[in-house]
Amino acid sequence: MVKIKLDYDVLGFVLLALFAFYVLMQFTTDPPLALSLLLLALLSLIHKAKLEEGMSKLRASLVPSIEQLDKHILALADISTNLGQQLRANEKEGELERRLSQLETEVERLSSDLAAYMGYLESCIRNLNRAEEKE
């Protein structure tokens, strides 16, 4: 169920709809036309409330994605630091190459995860912008 906040916009909208209904009733003998216009205005109000609710849910869903992105960036920094320490401690060339290969694989995986999260965030931002433009 959609909760409609009773703020000045909503109150003004309802008063405007009632005034429009009154004016239409003065100029027409067709009450269903006036009622249908009033219902159209009320449906528009409900649509606005649903849109605001959807935007708040979308914003709330972005927060965990950003937190996951931060965790991946920190994990990438930790791996890089650990590799640097391991490379200095290990002087065997074969061991260094094997560990470097593992790190490169891990960095590629994290980079692809990072790119996927960035794409997701960009699409969420585009959706937010579209929703705000529709308002």
The angle subtended at Cα 41 by Cα 36 and Cα 47, nearest 5°, is 120
What is the DSSP track for 36-51?
A: HHHHHHHHHHHHHHHH
pLDDT band of 55, cuts 50, 70, 90:
confident
User: Residue 15: is its pLDDT beyond 80?
Assistant: no
For residue 65, the model assigns a pLDDT of: 78
Cβ–Cβ under 8 Å, residues 61 and 124? yes
Q: Please give the average per-residue pLDDT across 105-114, as a whole number.
A: 87
Can you tell me the distance from the alpha carbon of 81 to that of 102, in angstroms, rounded to the nearest whole number?
14
The first and second tokens of residue 48, run together, are: 């606005």
Q: Please give the average per-residue pLDDT across 55-63, as a whole number.
A: 81
Question: In whole numbers, what is the pLDDT of the chain averaged over residues?
Answer: 78
Cβ–Cβ under 8 Å, residues 42 and 17? yes
Tell me how far CA of residue 17 lies from CA of 5, 12, 42, 89, 111, in angstroms: 17, 9, 8, 77, 54
Tally of CB atoms within 10 A around 34: 19
Give the tens place of pLDDT for each residue, 66-83: 788 888 888 888 888 888
